[in-house]
Amino acid sequence: MESKKKRILSGMRPTGKLHIGHYVGALENWINLQQEYENYHLIADYHVLTTNLNSDSIYQDSIDMLIDWLASGLDPVISPMFRQSQIKEHTELHLIFSMLVTVNRLERNPTVKDQVRDLNIENVIYGHLGYPVLQAADILLYKGDLVPVGEDQVPHIEITREIARKFNNQYGVVFPEPEPKLTAFARLSGLDGDAKMSKSLGNTILLSDDEETIKTKLKKAKTDPQKMRKNDPGRPEVCLVFSYHKKFTPNEIPEIEAGCRSGALGCVDCKMKCSANISSFISPILEKRKYYESHQDEVKNILADGEARAKKVAQATMQEVREKMKLG
């Protein structure tokens, strides 16, 4: 019997161990919505090439990211997880979609513009410009209705919607117009105060960091520059650590806010409380991570199973696409 549930499709690039920004911005929604929706999760191993042509560890990085997902609570029985590179329909649909979007539209994409700036990229490759076109293929191949992502990805979902609309108008309806789904922390700031916690900016707390590491990182975190000494009054609204408390100490926000404003709560104590709470949030993930790290064969079987299930869906959609386009 065919499932009546709506579909989720969302993915991540395997560019190293995941950080808490990935978790609070996207992964948490994947986990929370996996009963209500039919979830498909993609390891975007082709998308890695847009910023790192030289990686010699894409496969191992993919396995490591899968371990992060499983340790965080994604259930492989209900949510297939698979690599983009292993299902050739992604590249096929990408090629077709590249005919349905203008170069001008892609050049206006703010997400690629930000990446080019952050990574000091001088010569933008064609594949980088086409990043959201491949992403549209990733989503629409599985007819994703909902795409839980961080805020930086919203422009890409808009391009996906435009491509779906264009295809449906041109050839007949095959695709839904997917909606982005944001969490309350859709853009978690980095430890240096930068607007986005990001691997490439080196300002992250990893889901695999132990207690000591988190403490050391928190000690260096940016706070209100006007609060120099313990008794100085502070401004929580400009403090990075306060923004982390909102997520990791949700039940004590009024006390922390009042203590900071009056000066009674010093930054050192405030940071230690924050680091303890982040650690207790991460600790069950670390435990599960240990299990999967020592059962890598199980992880590889989970991937093979996810890829077999995803492939069936992808092939069925491509069959529909070819029929609508009269490709025979």
Per-residue CA distances from 277 to 161, 245, 252, 272, 280 (Å): 39, 8, 11, 9, 5
SS3 80: coil
What is the residue whose two structure tokens read 């069925």?
316
Stretch that binds ligand ATP, among 134-142, 197-205, 229-237, 305-313 (CB under 6 A): 197-205
- 181 - beta bridge partners? 148
234 binds, among ligand ATP, Mg ion, none (CB under 5 to 8 A by kind): none
- The least distance separating Mg ion from the CB of residue 97, rounded to whole angstroms, comes to 22
With binding defined as CB under 5 A, does residue 15 bind Mg ion?
yes
Size of the site for ligand ATP (CB under 6 A): 19
DSSP state of 86: G
Residue of the chain from 6, 165, 166, 187 that contacts ligand ATP (CB under 6 A)? 187
Residue of the chain from 7, 8, 17, 21 that contacts ligand ATP (CB under 6 A)? 21
* 240 vs 260 by CB, closer to ligand ATP: 240
Residue of the chain from 34, 72, 135, 153 that contacts ligand ATP (CB under 6 A)? 153
Stretch that binds Mg ion, among 10-18, 181-189, 250-258, 270-278 (CB under 5 A): 10-18
27 within 8 A of 18, measured Cβ to Cβ: yes
* 188 vs 265 by CB, closer to ligand ATP: 188
With binding defined as CB under 5 A, does residue 62 bind Mg ion?
no
Q: Which helix (H) or strand (E) holds 215?
A: helix 211-219
With binding defined as CB under 5 A, does residue 183 bind Mg ion?
no
Residues 6 or more apart from 172 whose CB is under 8 A from it? 324
The span from the CA of 86 to the CA of 311, in Å, is 9
188 binds, among ligand ATP, Mg ion, none (CB under 5 to 8 A by kind): ligand ATP
209 within 8 A of 190, measured Cβ to Cβ: no
With binding defined as CB under 6 A, does residue 26 bind ligand ATP?
yes
Per-residue CA distances from 303 to 77, 84, 100, 273 (Å): 11, 12, 32, 38
What is the residue whose two structure tokens read 């892609």?
106
Query: Sign (positive/negative) of CA torsion 50, 55, 58, 62?
Result: negative
In the shown chain, the binding pattern of residues 228 to 257 toward ligand ATP, with x for contact by CB under 6 A and - for none, equals ------------------------------
* 205 vs 260 by CB, closer to ligand ATP: 205
Stretch that binds Mg ion, among 5-13, 84-92, 151-159, 225-233 (CB under 5 A): 5-13
Nearest to 260 by CA among 226, 225, 224, 236: 236
* 197 vs 267 by CB, closer to ligand ATP: 197
How many Cβ atoms sit within 10 Å of the Cβ of residue 281?
Answer: 16
SS3 98: coil
Per CB under 5 A, residues contacting Mg ion are 13, 15
Per CB under 6 A, residues contacting ligand ATP are 12-13, 15, 21-22, 25-26, 149-150, 152-153, 186-188, 196-200
